[in-house]
Amino acid sequence: MVRVGILGLTGCSGCQCEILNCEDAIISLLGRVDFSFFPLAKDSNSIKNLDILFVEGSVSSELDEELVKKGRENSKLLVAIGSCACYGGVQAQRNDEVSLEEMIREVYGEKGVPIKVFKAKPLREVVKVDYELPGCPLDKKQFIYAVSFLLNGIRP
């Protein structure tokens, strides 16, 4: 059984929702795939010893960075899914226009945020990424093809 994880970082969870919208295809995968880590879809999760980890969202906080590094350490393959994971997404569009301090002040006011945040960046700037499936949200057919290929040892 192939152990698969789906991790969401800073983003809208749209890619994860697209994966959940693959109902029939997901059901047919259940005989070969154990979704060991998918917090959006199930309560009991383990990020350890994954064969494939799909990651949605940009790295925009210390927590995001810790999670994606832990995921990379515990997976054989890491696949960035969606434009946020591949390019930084919508949250990275103004990175070059204003300072982080200005962004935080505009969104959260003078009190700021209680966590360490930084300008959004794609996964590849933090960890080794084996494959990327861009899109906003990702195309669910591409996701199913990628999973099928990887399950059969074929490079997507």
Q: Strands, E, within the chain: which ranges?
A: 2-8, 33-37, 50-56, 59-61, 75-81, 117-121, 131-133
Least confident range of 13-27, 68-82, 101-115, 119-133: 101-115
pLDDT band for position 108 (cuts 50, 70, 90): confident
pLDDT in tens, 12-69: 999 999 999 998 888 888 888 999 999 999 999 999 999 999 999 999 999 999 999 9
Collapsed DSSP state (helix, strand, coil) of residue 85: helix
pTM assigned to the model: 0.92
What percentage of residues in the chain have a pLDDT greater than 70? 100
Q: Give the C-alpha separation, 156 to 147, whole Å.
A: 8
Domains of the chain with bracketed CATH: 2-151 (3.40.50.700)
User: HSE on the CB side for 73, CA within 13 Å?
Assistant: 7
Better pLDDT: 61 or 102 = 61
The pLDDT assigned to 90 comes to: 87
pLDDT of residue 106: 84
